[in-house]
Structure formats: structure tokens, C-alpha cells
Amino acid sequence: MAKNYTINTHEQPSLVSLGGCDFFIDPDVVFEGLFEIRIDKPRIPYPKSTHIGRGTWVQSGAIIYPGVTIGDNCLIGYNTVIRENTIIGNNTTIGAHSQVEGNIVIGKNCSIWTHAHLTAFMSIGDNVFIAPRFTALNDPVMSYKRPYMQKRRIIKGPTIEDNVRISGNVVVQPGIVIGEEALIGTSALVTKDVGKAEIVYGVPAKIMGIVPICNTFGYKEGSDGGASEKEHS
């Protein structure tokens, strides 16, 4: 039976050096069973230290590369890969069997469920919910093995702003911006920017409505004077 390992319960981070890379592991970090911290050569330059915050839980089979910063009280799910130059905010969950491709900033209090593909050079704000089997893309011309195209391509993943909710099986095309409080429906193919608090779904995704004020993050009953359908400013 695999064992769980709590790295330390002291007030100072532990420093572990592997292959010339420093790993700073805060108190009460739990590594569950088998896991891997990679020290191989990355695709691009990266900071030579990785920091795993206090109270974070790394589940079995997870792979964490150098140059990663994981905040406090996070959960990294089974068999999930976190590549170099990734920053994950406090209290964020990355579900099992997910791929975080690197050069990504993920905010605090996010819940990203299983089988997510987070492409390189994208960003995710705070309080974002992403249901299972989400796919983000970053190469608009699919330039694989085509040097002429690679010289002219612009690699840019999506930008997902604060408080966005995304349902299952959604695909977001390269460079798309999803505005604050937007809601993306199941199996949508997002090919155009989504504005603040817009509801979109379909293939391709189209605007189908506006998120009511009473369904927005941090809403308190009565704060809109009872007008739950009031437009967002």
C-alpha cells in the first residue's frame, strides 16, 4: 500500500536540491504515494526553484517540473502534470489526469476538474470554475513539423478572467479572452471573445444571454434592490 508523506511541520520551508534545482516545500505539505519531481531539461528557460505552499496536497502520480510555484492549501490531483514556469494561487484545485503545459498563471480559489488541458501561454483569474474535459489551444495555424509556418506563428493561449464558470467538454481557441463572470455552456466551441457576464454555448458558441446579478460571485441577497435581472455595468 502506498504511503502518504508529510514533508515537515515546522515553521520554516524545507529546501531540497535535485539536479541543481532548488525545491522549497512549506510546512504540512503532503505527498501521497508515488510522485515525481522532474529535473530534466525543459523546453525553454525557467527559474531554478520550485515552491510548494503550506498545506498543499500532491496526489499519487503527479509530476511537478522545476520553476513551478504552487500556493497554500492547493490540491494537485492524481497523475497530473505541472510544467515549468507555472504559478498556481492559494486554495486552487487541479483535478486528476490534467496537463498544465507551462508558462501559465492560475489565480486563487479556482476549481479545475479532471482531464483538463491547460495550454502554454494562457492565464486564468481568481475564483474560476472549470468542469471536466476542458481543452484550451494556443496555435492558430497548427504549425506542427512545418518550419515555414512556425516562423510566422503567434503562440497565445486563452485569457480567462475572474469568476468565470465553464461547463464540461468545452474547447477554447487560441488567443480568446473570456470576460469576468462569463458562463460557458456544455460542449461549446469558443471561437470569439466572450464579454463580461455573457452566457454562451453552441458550436460555434454564440451569445445566449447575460448572467443575472444574483448569480454573480459574491452576490448578497437584496444588494441589487431585488432586480435580479439587472444588467451589468
Top pLDDT among 75 and 49 is at 75
The pLDDT, as a whole number, for residue 95 is 97
- What is the full DSSP assignment across 107-143? -SS-EE-SS-EE-TT-EE-SS-EE-SS-EE---TT--
Task: Assess whether pLDDT exceeds 70 at residue 101.
Answer: yes
119 contact partners, CB below 8 Å, separation of at least 6 = 101, 136, 137, 138, 157, 158, 174
The pLDDT, as a whole number, for residue 18 is 47
Query: Cα–Cα distance between 107 and 110 in angstroms, integer?
Result: 7
Per-residue b or e along 113-146, where b marks 16 or more CB atoms closer than 10 Å to that residue's CB: bbbbebbbbbbbbbbbbbbbbbbbbbbeeeeeee
The residue written with cell numbers 476542458 in the block is 134
Per-residue b or e along 162-190, where b marks 16 or more CB atoms closer than 10 Å to that residue's CB: bbbbbbbebbbbbbbebbbbbbbbeebeb
Q: Kindly tell me the burial class for residue 105, based on how many C-beta atoms sit within 10 Å of its own C-beta (0-12, 13-18, 19 or more).
A: middle
Q: Residue 228 is which amino acid? A: S
The pLDDT, as a whole number, for residue 11 is 55
116-146: per-residue pLDDT in tens?
999 999 999 999 999 999 999 998 777 777 7
Mean per-residue pLDDT of the chain? 83
Residue percentage of the chain with pLDDT more than 70: 73
Top pLDDT among 200 and 61 is at 200
Domain definitions of the chain by residue range: 4-215
Among the CATH numbers 3.30.70.600, 3.40.50.1000, 3.30.450.90, 2.160.10.10, which is that of 4-215? 2.160.10.10
67-79: per-residue pLDDT in tens?
899 999 999 999 9
213: which DSSP letter?
G
Query: Cα–Cα distance between 93 and 90 in angstroms, integer?
Result: 9
| pTM, rounded to two decimals | 0.82
Provide the pLDDT confidence category of residue 227 given band limits of 50, 70 and 90.
very low
- 131 vs 13, 76, 116, 166, CA distance in Å? 33, 15, 8, 6
Looking at residues 180-204, what average pLDDT do you find?
98
